[in-house]
Amino acid sequence: MDYQQFISPLTQFYQLPQPFQLESGAVLENVQIAYRTWGTLNPAGDNGVLVCHAFTGWADLENWWSPLLGTGQALNPDQDFIVCSNILGSCYGTTGPTSINPQTGQPYGPTFPNITIRDMVHLQAQLVAALGIRSLRLVIGGSLGGMQVLEWALLYPSKLRAIAVIAASGRHSAWCIGLSEAQRQAIYVDPNWQGGYYSPEKPPHQGLKVARMIAMTTYRSWPSFSERFGRQTQAEAKFAIANYLNHQGDKLVERFDANTYITLTRSMDSHDVSRPEKTYEAVLQSISHPTLIIAIDSDVLYPVVEQEELAALIPQAKLVFLDSHHGHDAFLMDMDALNRLLLRFQADI
């Protein structure tokens, strides 16, 4: 499938001039980054704002966070130069499993190397430098985006002035790793998977669909599903919630790739700001930037206790709550409330 069909024609591409070494030691050649920008970089190069997208998102910020983008909003192109790039390992224009491996002339597929959140951040940093940004006024992101934000503060502390971490943690919990593994197993047991390798003509559609259905359940909540669907049934006496999850699974299959799903869930599982051998407390205590931690009270995937821990350990952190019964995905749904929290933080720093 041509995943580029899903991205905006306004997307730009940066070709890395040199090979890119991963944390694992593996080296990727011909690395490309897909990105979008809004606003203008000032002569001092210090009005950059970097937005880090979540798991299945991409660089078209205005597609999934539009209420936050615009004059007077949290992401204001009148004052800031806003950048959002598709992450390493994704399928929306930046090098990932669906890209052509220059060594073979074929898509990497399952041979794409393991990557980490740090690899994603190091690659973004190359784009930020190439765009002439000397200092980022704010680095912001939710979920997988929030993991990148924390690594930005730790890997490039002098390049940024404030961070906003939404619905994320400093290390993937046993709960999250277990859920990721169950989703990957759904892909592995697909008859088209064939022992780890699959034919691009017959990708594991059913497995990817089931993986998304499991994931969607963790992105929402008991009250959200109860209120929307209850025990309501539809055609053929199927529960409405079952139809909804099937629809969400089908929707992802239409726009996402199974190897990308595996690559990105593995990268999240590797996330631990303290690895390989530092203490979690000491690492978070070393973050010196003004920090906004946003917790979603109904998030069952990255529960509030994880953001409370981040806020307790990061010296200049402020913890606020996005009140929503929608669960983890509230940062993509209750955007007006999120916008207000971000505006208040920016007014304070």
Residue for token pair 């073979």: 104
d(CA 310, CA 169): 7
Residue closer to ligand ACO (CB basis): 68 or 162: 68
319 pairs with which residues across the strands?
293
Question: Least distance in Å: CB of 212 to ligand HSE?
Answer: 8
Active site includes 122?
Answer: no
Q: Give me the catalytic one of 99, 298, 299, 324.
A: 299
Contacts with ligand HSE, 322-341, as mask; x by CB under 6 A:
-------x--x---------
Active site includes 272?
Answer: no
**Does residue 55 belong to the site contacting ligand HSE (CB under 6 A)?**
yes
Residue for token pair 């208040």: 344
Residues 130-169 close enough to bind ligand HSE by CB under 6 A: 143
d(CA 252, CA 107): 20
36 labelled binding-site residue:
no
Residues 26-65 close enough to bind ligand ACO by CB under 6 A: 54, 56-57, 63-64
Angle, helices 174-188 vs 205-219, to 10°: value is 160
212 labelled binding-site residue:
yes
> DSSP strand E in 177-316: where?
291-296
**Does the N-terminal peptide bond of residue 77 adopt cis geometry, omega within 30 degrees of 0?**
no
Residue closer to ligand ACO (CB basis): 253 or 284: 253
Residue closer to ligand HSE (CB basis): 320 or 332: 332
d(CA 103, CA 108): 10
**Does residue 332 belong to the site contacting ligand ACO (CB under 6 A)?**
yes
Contacts with ligand HSE, 209-228, as mask; x by CB under 6 A:
----------x---------
**Does residue 329 belong to the site contacting ligand ACO (CB under 6 A)?**
yes
* Beta strands 48-52; 81-85: pairing state: parallel
CB 194 within 8 A of CB 230: no
Cβ atoms within 10 Å of 195's Cβ, excluding its own: 7
Residues contributing to the site for ligand HSE (CB under 6 A): 54-57, 143, 219, 329, 332
Q: Which parts are annotated binding residues for substrate?
A: 212, 329
Just list the catalytic residues: 143, 299, 328
